[in-house]
Structure 1
Amino acid sequence: MATRYGMIPRPIAQLPWRIILFVLAIGGFGLTVLYSAAGGHVFPWALVQGIRFLVFLAAAVMLSRVPERVIAMAAWPAYLALVVMLVLVELIGAVRGGGQRWLDFGFIRLQPSELMKVAIVLATARFYDLLPPNETRRFGAIWPAAILIGIPAALVMKQPDLGTALMICAGGATVMFLAGVPLRLFVGGATALAVAVPLAINYLLHEYQRNRILVFLNPESDPLGTGYHISQSKIAIGSGGLWGKGFLKGTQSHLDYLPEGHTDFALATMMEEWGLIGGLLLILAFFVIVQWGISVAMRAQSRFAKLTAAGLTATIFYYFSINMAMVMGLAPVVGVPLPLISWGGSSVMTFMLCLGILMAIERQNRLIVRF
């Protein structure tokens, strides 16, 4: 018989309820943003998003019961399966919004690149977990990880999806750095990247991606064309002021001046109505989750668990920080949604996968400490 804390079963009582409550608060706030973006209606976004949120949260809770060794064993098979899916996306993927990023299975439309954000962390963490620590600073510890990261990043760039490709690279590189790859190699890589950026802008990026970067460098160069999104986003955020215009009282989104006000620019929709205070509270809630993820990584006992927890926490941080910087004009528009706020099941699924694995590692930490 399961030991109980009062009337609550131990597996339920031992969940990190403080973090789950923060996740529920962010998700609930996201539903109000989508409700407002639809003009005060649960259709077409809020109701569907709410169902997705609850289903994936339940999946995260179930994932928290999976032993760490099972997650470690599944790391490379999951990575290989997603690489195959990314190749299939290139061959038979569904086209939507100008990008070929989805596999349509009839009952579900899956975006493998979103899942790869998690899989790349697991795969690189597994690689360094199996590598003897004294080998980490050698070249043989670098090029296999670089290939692990480079293959999916290149396939995602082909879709084209610059934002997701950058997040895959960032997640994998974070694990490499935390595993002990020498800092000088990252400095050298950053220098080479800085040299290569002008060439990439001119010869590798699609025209719309190149225009977005040029508009970021000179926001006023095309205010009615490529720069329209970011110009309207800044107007929406600025007009919200400190306290916002009030729920359902935004004008930029309700009058359709703000494009993608329910997806990539959902933050602008929210800050117009809830103001700077609402934005700061949202950032604080995300930082509470990041702080918890860091503590899970620091308490982890195995190398795989430490690297995985740190890498997934970094992925959550990159997710919301890149979107917020993008919406506020501090970074180029690269199409990264704000997790739990923006419309879309793929970003919710990715966030909940990160949360579920972090909860599984935390549970493993408690079991080790107890015994």
Structure 2
Amino acid sequence: MLIPLTLLVAFGGAVLFSAAGGSMQPYAASHLIRFAVFLVAASVIAIFPRDLVKFLTYPAYVGVLLLLLAVEVMGAIGGGSQRWLNLGPVVLQPSELMKPVIVLVLARFYDTLPAGMIGSWRALIPAALLVGMPMGLVLMQPDLGTALAIGFGGAVVMLIAGLPMRWFMIGGALGAVAAPLAFFFGLKEYQQRRVFTFLDPESDPLGAGYHITQSKIAIGSGGISGKGFNEGSQSHLQYLPEPHTDFVFATMAEEWGLIGGVFVLVAFALILRWGIGVARTSQDRFSQLLGFGMVATIFFYVAVNLMMVMGLAPVVGIPLPFMSHGGSSMMTNMICIGVLMMINRWNREAPRRFLG
């Protein structure tokens, strides 16, 4: 896993170098430094014992939930959203921490729930509350993308835990009925514009549809082998908005073409395949649910970002893991990697504990 991960981060550093016009500052250098720091943090997470993780689960959930409440009271405002806590030298986005924490708390909840109750309301209502409270607080910021990520991670854990499929079908049907009401009465005006732009980006190519139109141009103009390293006109001439964060894949595709795109997809496939393998070989319920949930969190980032930059999903501000510039995204995804490394260590040690 570390080989494709390191190659992906290094490739991301090269793309960010180009996005800055051929300079390590301000994107590439900080990107590589953050990876090194969070790789150390992931290695520390990997040595945590199972009993300690279980003990800390509910305190961690309550702590992050309180941080989300603090954001509503005293959070810093940026870009029209109130998502950050200014803690002196550190600016923290608690909603990012909730993505792995929601997986952790649901894994712990279903680990302690008797198997005979998995089809009863006791398996659904408490879990729905655990997911619903942080989602509601994040939607108030407003941050639809992160709220969906929290909900997706929670839903995957609930599915793997064995909740009846009919509940998911009922939930999907209710969601389809509620979607129009949520669109007209729940979304902000700019969020509604993003949906309209997704459906018809050519209707306003110089306004609301500008981002996705320029992204498609950048990806398409790369062809098979791309225009060449540091030769991307869309990003260098500032036609492509956010070439170092949300649209870093478009920046890459213009310069490296289809070959670069396939490399990125293969690297992510290897990382996710390793994570699925770790989860599947887990020998206890808690580890298995935790592993699949962490893989789902990384997958959500990758799938939504790639769909977004290619016009297959509305723009929701989800960065591409390990390639986009940004500390919050790197932190969340490296926490997921660290937890999977931890579960992998538990799996290796299990036979020795059994034989002993």
Q: TM-score range by the shorter chain?
A: over 0.9
For 1:97 and 1:165, how far apart are their aligned partners in 2? Answer: 17
Secondary structure (helix, strand or coil) at the match of 1:253 reads helix
Q: Is the Cα–Cα contact under 8 Å of residues 201 and 208 in structure 2 kept in the other structure?
A: no
Secondary structure (helix, strand or coil) at the match of 2:234 reads coil
Q: Which residue of 2 aligns with 1:274?
A: 256
2:138 equivalent to 1:156 = yes
2:112 equivalent to 1:130 = yes
**Equivalent residue for 2:69, pick from 87, 90, 94:** 87
What is the Cα deviation at residue 319 of structure 1? Answer: 0.9
2:26 equivalent to 1:29 = no
Q: Which residue of 1 aligns with 2:274?
A: 292
Secondary structure (helix, strand or coil) at the match of 2:85 reads strand
The AA in structure 1 aligned to 2:37 is: V
Q: Which residue of 1 aligns with 2:310?
A: 328
**For this pair of structures, how many residues does the alignment match?**
353
Tell me which stretches of 4 or more aligned residues in structure 1 moved more than 2 Å: none
Secondary structure (helix, strand or coil) at the match of 1:252 reads helix
**Equivalent residue for 1:355, pick from 316, 333, 337:** 337
Where do 1:147-296 residues align within 5 Å? 147-296=129-278
The AA in structure 1 aligned to 2:261 is: G
Where do 1:72-111 residues align within 5 Å? 72-111=54-93
Q: Is the Cα–Cα contact under 8 Å of residues 46 and 342 in structure 2 kept in the other structure?
A: yes
2:94 equivalent to 1:112 = yes
For 1:214 and 1:149, how far apart are their aligned partners in 2? Answer: 28
The AA in structure 2 aligned to 1:54 is: A
What is the Cα deviation at residue 71 of structure 1? Answer: 1.6
Write the deviation string for residues 15-42 of structure 1: whole angstroms up to 9, x where unpaired. Answer: xxxx112111111111111111000001
Write the deviation string for residues 239-283 of structure 1: whole angstroms up to 9, x where unpaired. Answer: 011111110000000000000111111110011111111111101
For 1:48 and 1:293, how far apart are their aligned partners in 2? Answer: 26
2:53 equivalent to 1:67 = no
Secondary structure (helix, strand or coil) at the match of 2:233 reads coil
The AA in structure 1 aligned to 2:204 is: D
Secondary structure (helix, strand or coil) at the match of 1:100 reads strand
What is the Cα deviation at residue 309 of structure 1? Answer: 0.2
What is the Cα deviation at residue 56 of structure 1? Answer: 0.3
Q: Which runs of 5+ in 1 are unaligned?
A: 1-18
For 2:50 and 2:261, how far apart are their aligned partners in 1? Answer: 35
Of residues 83-92 and 63-72 in structure 1, the stretch that sits farther from structure 2 once superposed is: 63-72
For 1:125 and 1:234, how far apart are their aligned partners in 2? Answer: 39
For 1:230 and 1:303, how far apart are their aligned partners in 2? Answer: 42
The AA in structure 2 aligned to 1:218 is: D
The AA in structure 2 aligned to 1:104 is: N
For 2:55 and 2:265, how far apart are their aligned partners in 1? Answer: 34
Secondary structure (helix, strand or coil) at the match of 1:313 reads helix
TM-score scaled to structure 2, two decimals?
0.98
Secondary structure (helix, strand or coil) at the match of 2:82 reads strand
Q: Which runs of 5+ in 2 are unaligned?
A: none
Of residues 252-261 and 42-51 in structure 1, the stretch that sits farther from structure 2 once superposed is: 42-51
The AA in structure 1 aligned to 2:151 is: C
For 2:54 and 2:16, how far apart are their aligned partners in 1? Answer: 37
For 2:253 and 2:50, how far apart are their aligned partners in 1? Answer: 39
The AA in structure 1 aligned to 2:302 is: F
2:22 equivalent to 1:40 = yes
For 1:349 and 1:30, how far apart are their aligned partners in 2? Answer: 16
For 2:65 and 2:238, how far apart are their aligned partners in 1? Answer: 38
What is the Cα deviation at residue 97 of structure 1? Answer: 1.8
What is the Cα deviation at residue 174 of structure 1? Answer: 0.4
**Equivalent residue for 2:346, pick from 352, 364, 371:** 364
What is the Cα deviation at residue 226 of structure 1? Answer: 1.2
What is the Cα deviation at residue 147 of structure 1? Answer: 0.6
Q: Is the Cα–Cα contact under 8 Å of residues 225 and 260 in structure 2 kept in the other structure?
A: yes
For 1:197 and 1:220, how far apart are their aligned partners in 2? Answer: 24
CA RMSD of aligned residues (A): 0.8
